[in-house]
Structure 1
Amino acid sequence: MAEDGFREFVQLRYGELLRTAYLLTGSTHAAEDLVQSALLKAYRRWDLVDDPMAYLRRALVNQRTSVWRRIGSRELLTGVLPERGEQTGAPRTRSGTSCSPHWRSCRCACGRCWCCGTGKTCPKRTPPR
């Protein structure tokens, strides 16, 4: 009996669920997968569901949120690399001011100073001659 009601519901409301899932995913293939997994979860509890459309919409949103959390934010892959800007002049500090005029004279490559990249003054910096 419950199986007949579920089958009838899916035949009537599949299009609406698919539209909702498409709005959540942005892809028809991902939307179909999302609807199928939500329907599978709803089928297991079909006898306990009072409002099936609300239950399935909530299942779609919850499942899509879980996917977003699981995959996190991924980088967008493109075929073309962006142009790199050239750095001219003295490097800048975090506050936006220029580093000391002696920044070019540092030859330590310690990785701990402004001239080497991390923001501290260089203990080995020598003034220009």
Structure 2
Amino acid sequence: MSEAASGLNLDPDGDDFILSRTGDDGVTARIVLTAADILDLTRSALALRERDLAERQSASGEVEAVLATPVETVALHREMLGDNLLLTFVSPDGNRLAFALPSALAADLVERLSSVLATQVAAPARQ
């Protein structure tokens, strides 16, 4: 993987990964992570992000801070085993995030999307 602006770098190493960061002093710290560790790290980072956003909420609660990733394409497939629909979002930089939606939840999502889109079409254009 390419080096991020933060100076973090994650590279494959056989079945594992090496997470490295080079400090301002030029010293590089490295840690070996398994694929399971990467998933745990992802979940932890998302939880930390949500906690940070919650701390930025206005006292009135009228405005909600949201970190949103642009979506370039969407894929939808039925899960081979089970009753889920697999909804995959792909960002412009190629990152993919897949969700397994139970059919009932997918039907609710369709209704909500239709309602929001109908409201959006009916609303006057902002200038």
Question: Above 0.5 in TM-score?
Answer: no
Scaled by the length of structure 1, what TM-score is found?
0.22
The normalised TM-score by structure 2 is 0.22
Bigger strand share = 2
